[in-house]
Amino acid sequence: MKGFHLLKSLATISLGAVLMVGCSSGNTSAPAANEGGAKQEASTDGQEFTAKIGVVGFLSGSGAAYGEAQKAGLELALGELNEANKGKLKMELKFEDSGGKKEGAINAVNKLINQDNVVAIIGPTLSGEMFAAGPVANEAETPIFGISNTSEGINDIGEYVFRNSLPESIAIPTAMKAAVEKNSLKKVALIYASNDDFSVNGYKVMKATAEKMGLEITGEATFSNGDVDFSAQLTKLKQTNPDALLVSALYKEGSMVVKKARELGITGTILGGNGFNNPKVFEIAGPEAEGLIVATPFSPEKQDDKVQAFVKAFEAKYNKKPDQFAAQAYDSLYIMSQSLLAAGKADREELRGQLAQLKDFTGVSGNLSFDEKRNPIGDAVVVVAKEGKFVPFE
């Protein structure tokens, strides 16, 4: 069919904003190296040096599968890198569980900076946590690197804040364009978690994209993270007769929404955001996940040597395939390693400078290169749930 090639090109597009930093131009205004406590067996004389990196993850509670995937990706990378960097650099990871809570993330960041004396922090998992804890790290002049923060405004927190996660402002329109084209969508209904920054941001992107594409919005509904009954909202949305339901949520609530929507007889397209990029979706939604459309920067099915080597190593260690969260975590430690080696010592300020200069990084979650505004370029692929896994939507 005529739309087929167009669809394929829409499903894989060039993206412009993967790794971003908060400042807009040169780093000349950055303060002199923070002398207080950031030195860890620093070495500029060619000796091996140690760098302790903190990790703040959603390791327990309703989104623990995100944090577990991130931890697995980081630990796999750590083993590989400490082997490869022998005699030059030894990295140590110090994990802290935020429980997916802002308070938890703030406490973890404070502890890692002030007690554990880390050179940098990876995480926290949720955008809301980064909005709360990022300013603490930024104020303490400690690099903090988001690996799953997809909301607008993350890099505006400050010049010590970085991320390699694909923003929803790019991922969602990619998925929506592909779905609208293929499934001839005209009318959409939206549902989202109103007490989660990520979900609210995703909803805003979905709504703006729908408006831009000239789609009719038949209805909107909200719920809260922690809710388990979505019948009232979905029954109301069903009555508005949409062609598609757009869901902005984390995997637990999101999967329950998808399941309930199908049970209530909502038969049209269901499209979700970044929160669905985890195999838990299939556990929670079961066969009702079938047909769910999502965009992701990483697919374990991608026929690429680097990706397949990663998938193989991950499967050997954990006996399962990596998801996007594992892949972005894995990449982040490679970025840290490269930047620390370039810095030649475990120093927060030097590391921040190197992270800001990073160019042309090839990771498993895509090739990142960065323009003069440090907007990276990468690829997103649109996937659809089929028989218990995500496969290319084409």
DSSP of 161-182: EEE-SPPHHHHHHHHHHHHHHH
Q: How far is the CB of 293 from ligand 1QQ (least distance, A)?
A: 16
Torsion over CA: 304, 305, 307, 311 (sign): positive
**360: phi > 0 → left, psi -120 to 50 → alpha, else beta; which?**
left
Interface residues for ligand 1QQ in 174-233 (CB under 6 A)? 198
CB 329 within 8 A of CB 73: yes
Comparing CB distances to ligand 1QQ, the nearer of 154 and 351 is: 154
Q: How far is the CB of 366 from ligand 1QQ (least distance, A)?
A: 16
Comparing CB distances to ligand 1QQ, the nearer of 205 and 335 is: 205
Q: How far is the CB of 387 from ligand 1QQ (least distance, A)?
A: 24
DSSP of 10-56: HHEEEES-SSEES-SS-STTSPS---SS--SS--SSSS-EEEEEEEE
How far is the C-alpha of 229 from the C-alpha of 223, rounded, in Å?
Answer: 9
How far is the C-alpha of 134 from the C-alpha of 304, rounded, in Å?
Answer: 34
Does position 149 interact with ligand 1QQ (CB under 6 A)? The reply is: yes
Comparing CB distances to ligand 1QQ, the nearer of 250 and 382 is: 250
How far is the C-alpha of 68 from the C-alpha of 82, rounded, in Å?
Answer: 21
Q: How far is the CB of 300 from ligand 1QQ (least distance, A)?
A: 18
Could you tell me which stretch among 29-37, 147-155, 283-291, 340-348 binds ligand 1QQ (CB under 6 A)?
147-155
Comparing CB distances to ligand 1QQ, the nearer of 151 and 218 is: 151
Q: How far is the CB of 42 from ligand 1QQ (least distance, A)?
A: 33
Interface residues for ligand 1QQ in 60-99 (CB under 6 A)? 66
Q: How far is the CB of 198 from ligand 1QQ (least distance, A)?
A: 3
Interface residues for ligand 1QQ in 241-300 (CB under 6 A)? 250, 274-275
Could you tell me which stretch among 121-129, 137-145, 226-234, 376-384 binds ligand 1QQ (CB under 6 A)?
121-129
Q: Pull the structure tokens for residue 49.
A: 């040096």
Comparing CB distances to ligand 1QQ, the nearer of 151 and 255 is: 151
Does position 171 interact with ligand 1QQ (CB under 6 A)? The reply is: no
- What is the signed CA dihedral for 5, 165, 325, 39, rounded to 10 degrees? 150
Q: Which ranges of the chain does DSSP label H, i.e. alpha helix? A: 3-11, 64-84, 102-114, 127-139, 168-183, 197-212, 231-239, 251-263, 280-285, 305-318, 324-343, 348-357
Could you tell me which stretch among 148-156, 210-218, 279-287, 380-388 binds ligand 1QQ (CB under 6 A)?
148-156
**CB neighbour list of residue 219: distance below 8 Å, 6 or more residues apart:** 189, 190, 236, 237, 240, 242
Does position 150 interact with ligand 1QQ (CB under 6 A)? The reply is: yes
Q: Pull the structure tokens for residue 36.
A: 């207080």
Pairing outcome for strands 187-193 and 244-248: parallel
Among 126, 140, 270, 311, binds ligand 1QQ (CB under 6 A): 126
Does position 324 interact with ligand 1QQ (CB under 6 A)? The reply is: no
Q: How far is the CB of 86 from ligand 1QQ (least distance, A)?
A: 33
Q: How far is the CB of 77 from ligand 1QQ (least distance, A)?
A: 19
Does position 125 interact with ligand 1QQ (CB under 6 A)? The reply is: yes
Q: Pull the structure tokens for residue 233.
A: 């909202």
Q: Which of 376, 379, 295, 329 is nearest to 18 (CA)?
A: 376
Could you tell me which stretch among 146-154, 175-183, 296-304, 376-384 binds ligand 1QQ (CB under 6 A)?
146-154
Among 40, 117, 142, 148, binds ligand 1QQ (CB under 6 A): 148
- Contacts with ligand 1QQ, residue ranges (CB under 6 A): 66, 125-127, 148-151, 198, 250, 274-275
